[in-house]
Amino acid sequence: MAPDVDRKKEALKGLIFNIQKFSLNDGPGIRTVVFFKGCPLRCAWCSNPESQLGMPEQMFDSSKNKMITCGKSMTVDEVMDEVMQDKPFYDESGGGVTFSGGEVLFQAKFAIELAKKLKEKGVNLACETTGYVKSSVFKEFMKYIDFMYYDCKQWDPMLHQKGTGETNEIILKNLDLALKYQTPENNKQLCIRIPVIPGFNYTDNDAENFGKLFVKMGVDHVELLPFHQFGLKKYEELNRPYALKNVAQLASTDLLNYQKILAKYNVQADINGWD
Protein backbone atom coordinates (compact mmCIF):
# COMPACT_ATOMS: atom_id res chain seq x y z
CA MET A 1 0.00 0.00 0.00
CA ALA A 2 1.32 3.51 -0.80
CA PRO A 3 2.61 5.09 2.39
CA ASP A 4 0.42 8.18 2.20
CA VAL A 5 -2.93 6.41 1.78
CA ASP A 6 -5.45 8.02 4.10
CA ARG A 7 -7.26 5.17 5.77
CA LYS A 8 -10.52 5.66 7.67
CA LYS A 9 -9.99 6.70 11.29
CA GLU A 10 -6.25 6.54 10.80
CA ALA A 11 -4.04 9.64 10.58
CA LEU A 12 -2.27 10.25 7.30
CA LYS A 13 1.24 8.82 7.49
CA GLY A 14 4.41 9.36 5.52
CA LEU A 15 7.51 7.25 5.26
CA ILE A 16 10.52 9.24 6.48
CA PHE A 17 14.08 7.94 6.58
CA ASN A 18 15.85 10.77 8.34
CA ILE A 19 15.26 14.11 10.01
CA GLN A 20 18.49 16.05 10.05
CA LYS A 21 18.83 19.14 12.21
CA PHE A 22 21.15 22.14 11.90
CA SER A 23 21.76 21.78 8.18
CA LEU A 24 23.42 24.78 6.52
CA ASN A 25 23.50 23.55 2.91
CA ASP A 26 19.88 22.96 1.98
CA GLY A 27 18.45 26.45 1.63
CA PRO A 28 18.86 29.73 3.51
CA GLY A 29 19.80 29.84 7.22
CA ILE A 30 19.70 27.01 9.73
CA ARG A 31 17.37 24.27 8.52
CA THR A 32 15.90 20.91 9.46
CA VAL A 33 15.87 18.52 6.51
CA VAL A 34 13.09 15.93 6.33
CA PHE A 35 14.04 13.03 4.06
CA PHE A 36 11.08 11.35 2.35
CA LYS A 37 11.53 7.71 1.37
CA GLY A 38 10.46 6.53 -2.09
CA CYS A 39 11.29 7.73 -5.59
CA PRO A 40 9.77 6.98 -9.02
CA LEU A 41 13.19 7.33 -10.71
CA ARG A 42 16.20 5.02 -10.57
CA CYS A 43 19.15 7.27 -11.39
CA ALA A 44 22.22 5.13 -11.96
CA TRP A 45 24.37 7.60 -9.95
CA CYS A 46 21.94 8.07 -7.01
CA SER A 47 23.90 8.94 -3.87
CA ASN A 48 20.94 8.15 -1.59
CA PRO A 49 20.03 4.64 -2.80
CA GLU A 50 18.36 3.92 0.55
CA SER A 51 15.79 6.56 -0.39
CA GLN A 52 14.51 4.85 -3.53
CA LEU A 53 12.21 2.08 -2.26
CA GLY A 54 8.82 3.27 -1.01
CA MET A 55 8.86 0.88 1.93
CA PRO A 56 11.06 0.27 4.99
CA GLU A 57 14.14 -1.83 4.28
CA GLN A 58 17.04 -3.36 6.14
CA MET A 59 20.55 -2.05 5.66
CA PHE A 60 23.86 -2.49 7.43
CA ASP A 61 24.94 0.63 9.30
CA SER A 62 28.73 0.40 9.28
CA SER A 63 29.09 3.27 11.79
CA LYS A 64 27.04 1.25 14.32
CA ASN A 65 28.21 -2.13 13.03
CA LYS A 66 24.66 -3.52 12.95
CA MET A 67 21.60 -3.96 10.73
CA ILE A 68 19.07 -1.12 10.93
CA THR A 69 15.64 -0.45 9.46
CA CYS A 70 15.67 2.45 7.03
CA GLY A 71 12.27 4.22 6.89
CA LYS A 72 9.83 5.12 9.65
CA SER A 73 6.11 5.66 9.29
CA MET A 74 5.20 9.04 10.84
CA THR A 75 2.10 11.20 11.08
CA VAL A 76 2.12 14.87 10.09
CA ASP A 77 1.87 15.83 13.78
CA GLU A 78 4.83 13.62 14.70
CA VAL A 79 7.02 15.29 12.08
CA MET A 80 5.72 18.72 13.15
CA ASP A 81 6.60 18.03 16.81
CA GLU A 82 10.14 17.23 15.83
CA VAL A 83 10.83 20.02 13.36
CA MET A 84 9.14 22.76 15.40
CA GLN A 85 11.60 22.22 18.27
CA ASP A 86 14.09 24.33 16.31
CA LYS A 87 11.73 27.17 15.33
CA PRO A 88 13.75 29.74 17.36
CA PHE A 89 16.83 28.86 15.27
CA TYR A 90 14.89 29.24 12.03
CA ASP A 91 13.62 32.65 13.12
CA GLU A 92 17.03 33.80 14.26
CA SER A 93 18.89 32.70 11.11
CA GLY A 94 16.29 33.17 8.36
CA GLY A 95 16.14 29.38 8.03
CA GLY A 96 13.34 26.84 8.08
CA VAL A 97 12.52 23.32 6.96
CA THR A 98 13.63 21.56 3.76
CA PHE A 99 11.90 18.55 2.21
CA SER A 100 14.34 16.16 0.55
CA GLY A 101 14.41 12.52 -0.47
CA GLY A 102 13.99 10.33 -2.37
CA GLU A 103 11.40 12.28 -4.27
CA VAL A 104 9.16 14.31 -1.96
CA LEU A 105 6.27 14.15 -4.43
CA PHE A 106 6.25 10.36 -4.39
CA GLN A 107 4.26 10.98 -1.17
CA ALA A 108 2.52 14.08 -2.47
CA LYS A 109 -0.54 13.94 -0.24
CA PHE A 110 1.54 13.70 2.91
CA ALA A 111 4.02 16.34 1.69
CA ILE A 112 1.21 18.82 0.96
CA GLU A 113 -0.43 18.26 4.36
CA LEU A 114 2.88 18.75 6.15
CA ALA A 115 3.69 21.81 4.04
CA LYS A 116 0.32 23.38 4.87
CA LYS A 117 0.87 22.93 8.62
CA LEU A 118 4.38 24.38 8.43
CA LYS A 119 3.15 27.44 6.55
CA GLU A 120 0.37 27.93 9.13
CA LYS A 121 3.17 28.17 11.73
CA GLY A 122 5.10 30.68 9.61
CA VAL A 123 7.99 28.35 8.77
CA ASN A 124 10.05 29.04 5.63
CA LEU A 125 9.84 25.95 3.42
CA ALA A 126 12.35 24.68 0.86
CA CYS A 127 12.26 21.48 -1.17
CA GLU A 128 14.47 19.42 -3.44
CA THR A 129 12.51 17.84 -6.24
CA THR A 130 12.80 16.52 -9.74
CA GLY A 131 9.14 17.33 -10.38
CA TYR A 132 8.13 13.86 -11.55
CA VAL A 133 4.44 14.03 -10.61
CA LYS A 134 1.10 14.98 -12.21
CA SER A 135 1.09 18.72 -12.97
CA SER A 136 -2.12 19.34 -10.99
CA VAL A 137 -0.41 17.95 -7.88
CA PHE A 138 2.78 19.87 -8.58
CA LYS A 139 0.83 23.14 -8.88
CA GLU A 140 -0.83 22.58 -5.51
CA PHE A 141 2.51 21.72 -3.87
CA MET A 142 4.32 24.79 -5.28
CA LYS A 143 1.99 27.16 -3.42
CA TYR A 144 3.64 26.27 -0.13
CA ILE A 145 7.28 26.27 -1.24
CA ASP A 146 9.43 29.36 -0.69
CA PHE A 147 12.66 27.97 -2.13
CA MET A 148 12.63 25.19 -4.71
CA TYR A 149 15.68 23.22 -5.88
CA TYR A 150 14.66 21.58 -9.15
CA ASP A 151 16.82 18.88 -10.72
CA CYS A 152 16.97 18.93 -14.53
CA LYS A 153 19.03 15.89 -15.42
CA GLN A 154 18.81 15.55 -19.20
CA TRP A 155 17.67 17.56 -22.22
CA ASP A 156 16.80 14.43 -24.25
CA PRO A 157 13.80 12.23 -23.30
CA MET A 158 15.36 8.93 -24.40
CA LEU A 159 18.70 9.56 -22.73
CA HIS A 160 16.81 10.60 -19.61
CA GLN A 161 14.98 7.30 -19.66
CA LYS A 162 18.20 5.38 -20.15
CA GLY A 163 19.80 6.97 -17.08
CA THR A 164 16.81 7.25 -14.75
CA GLY A 165 14.19 4.76 -15.95
CA GLU A 166 11.70 7.46 -17.05
CA THR A 167 11.53 10.08 -19.82
CA ASN A 168 11.69 13.79 -18.96
CA GLU A 169 8.43 15.13 -20.50
CA ILE A 170 6.58 15.58 -17.18
CA ILE A 171 9.72 16.98 -15.58
CA LEU A 172 10.15 19.66 -18.26
CA LYS A 173 6.43 20.47 -18.21
CA ASN A 174 6.54 21.01 -14.44
CA LEU A 175 9.79 22.96 -14.72
CA ASP A 176 7.96 25.32 -17.03
CA LEU A 177 5.24 25.74 -14.37
CA ALA A 178 7.87 26.35 -11.70
CA LEU A 179 9.55 28.99 -13.86
CA LYS A 180 6.24 30.84 -14.12
CA TYR A 181 5.30 30.55 -10.45
CA GLN A 182 8.50 30.47 -8.38
CA THR A 183 9.47 34.09 -9.00
CA PRO A 184 10.69 36.99 -6.82
CA GLU A 185 7.35 38.73 -7.55
CA ASN A 186 5.75 35.80 -5.76
CA ASN A 187 8.34 35.97 -2.97
CA LYS A 188 9.71 32.66 -4.16
CA GLN A 189 13.04 31.36 -5.38
CA LEU A 190 13.88 28.65 -7.89
CA CYS A 191 17.29 27.01 -8.26
CA ILE A 192 17.63 24.68 -11.26
CA ARG A 193 20.36 22.09 -10.82
CA ILE A 194 22.08 19.76 -13.27
CA PRO A 195 23.92 16.83 -11.72
CA VAL A 196 26.69 16.37 -14.30
CA ILE A 197 27.37 12.66 -14.71
CA PRO A 198 30.02 11.03 -16.97
CA GLY A 199 28.40 8.76 -19.55
CA PHE A 200 25.00 10.44 -19.06
CA ASN A 201 25.17 14.21 -19.67
CA TYR A 202 28.83 15.26 -19.52
CA THR A 203 29.67 15.89 -23.20
CA ASP A 204 29.99 19.25 -24.97
CA ASN A 205 26.98 18.17 -27.02
CA ASP A 206 24.95 17.82 -23.79
CA ALA A 207 25.97 21.32 -22.67
CA GLU A 208 25.05 22.74 -26.11
CA ASN A 209 21.64 21.07 -26.04
CA PHE A 210 20.95 22.17 -22.47
CA GLY A 211 21.82 25.71 -23.62
CA LYS A 212 19.31 25.50 -26.49
CA LEU A 213 16.62 24.06 -24.19
CA PHE A 214 17.16 26.80 -21.59
CA VAL A 215 16.95 29.57 -24.20
CA LYS A 216 13.60 28.11 -25.27
CA MET A 217 12.35 27.87 -21.68
CA GLY A 218 13.66 31.25 -20.53
CA VAL A 219 16.18 29.85 -18.03
CA ASP A 220 19.15 32.15 -17.43
CA HIS A 221 20.74 30.68 -14.29
CA VAL A 222 21.54 27.09 -13.22
CA GLU A 223 23.78 25.24 -10.77
CA LEU A 224 26.08 22.45 -11.94
CA LEU A 225 26.69 19.60 -9.48
CA PRO A 226 29.80 17.60 -10.41
CA PHE A 227 29.49 13.80 -10.05
CA HIS A 228 30.77 12.46 -6.72
CA GLN A 229 31.05 9.06 -5.10
CA PHE A 230 29.61 9.89 -1.65
CA GLY A 231 26.95 7.20 -2.04
CA LEU A 232 29.39 4.37 -2.75
CA LYS A 233 29.39 2.92 0.78
CA LYS A 234 25.59 2.90 0.93
CA TYR A 235 25.36 0.48 -2.01
CA GLU A 236 27.60 -1.90 -0.07
CA GLU A 237 25.50 -1.41 3.09
CA LEU A 238 22.35 -2.22 1.10
CA ASN A 239 24.10 -5.10 -0.62
CA ARG A 240 23.03 -3.61 -3.96
CA PRO A 241 25.05 -3.46 -7.20
CA TYR A 242 26.25 -0.01 -8.27
CA ALA A 243 26.88 0.53 -11.98
CA LEU A 244 29.05 3.66 -11.52
CA LYS A 245 31.38 2.10 -8.94
CA ASN A 246 34.53 2.61 -11.02
CA VAL A 247 33.65 5.99 -12.54
CA ALA A 248 35.98 8.81 -11.44
CA GLN A 249 34.49 11.80 -9.60
CA LEU A 250 34.45 15.18 -11.37
CA ALA A 251 36.25 18.13 -9.83
CA SER A 252 34.78 21.62 -10.15
CA THR A 253 37.47 22.50 -12.71
CA ASP A 254 36.26 19.64 -14.93
CA LEU A 255 33.08 21.65 -15.53
CA LEU A 256 34.68 24.90 -16.67
CA ASN A 257 34.15 24.11 -20.35
CA TYR A 258 30.53 23.05 -19.68
CA GLN A 259 30.06 26.37 -17.92
CA LYS A 260 31.60 28.24 -20.88
CA ILE A 261 29.30 26.52 -23.38
CA LEU A 262 26.21 27.44 -21.34
CA ALA A 263 27.44 31.04 -21.13
CA LYS A 264 27.26 31.17 -24.96
CA TYR A 265 23.50 30.78 -24.52
CA ASN A 266 23.41 33.49 -21.83
CA VAL A 267 22.91 30.90 -19.10
CA GLN A 268 24.98 31.63 -16.00
CA ALA A 269 26.08 28.28 -14.57
CA ASP A 270 27.48 28.26 -11.01
CA ILE A 271 29.55 25.19 -10.20
CA ASN A 272 28.55 23.84 -6.78
CA GLY A 273 31.34 21.32 -6.31
CA TRP A 274 32.00 18.86 -3.52
CA ASP A 275 35.76 19.65 -3.65
Residues at the site binding ligand SF4, with contacts judged by CB under 6 A: 39, 41-43, 46, 48, 51-52, 101-103, 130
* Three-point CA angle 133, 201, 160, nearest 5°: 30
**Residue 133 CB, nearest approach to ligand SF4 (Å):** 12
* Closest CB 140 distance from ligand SF4, rounded Å: 20
Q: What angle do CA 190, 98, 201 make, to 5 degrees?
A: 55
How far apart are CB 191 and ligand SF4 at their closest, in Å?
15
Q: Can you tell me the distance from the alpha carbon of 49 to that of 230, in angstroms, rounded to the nearest whole number? A: 11
Nearer to ligand SF4, 173 or 216 (CB): 173
Q: Tell me whether residue 95 or residue 101 sits nearer to ligand SF4 (CB atom).
A: 101
Q: Cis bond leading into 38, ω under 30°?
A: no
SS3 label, residue 54? coil
Nearest C-alpha neighbor of 190 from the set 263, 138, 230? 138
Please, which residue, 153 or 265, has the CB nearer to ligand SF4?
153
DSSP per-residue letters across 135-192: HHHHHHHHTT-SEEEEE---SSHHHHHHHHSS-SHHHHHHHHHHHHHSSGGGT-EEEE
Least distance in angstroms from the C-beta of 171 to ligand SF4: 10
Nearer to ligand SF4, 45 or 210 (CB): 45
Residue 245 CB, shortest distance to ligand SF4, in Å, is 16
Distance CA 227, CA 45 (A): 8
Nearer to ligand SF4, 146 or 151 (CB): 151
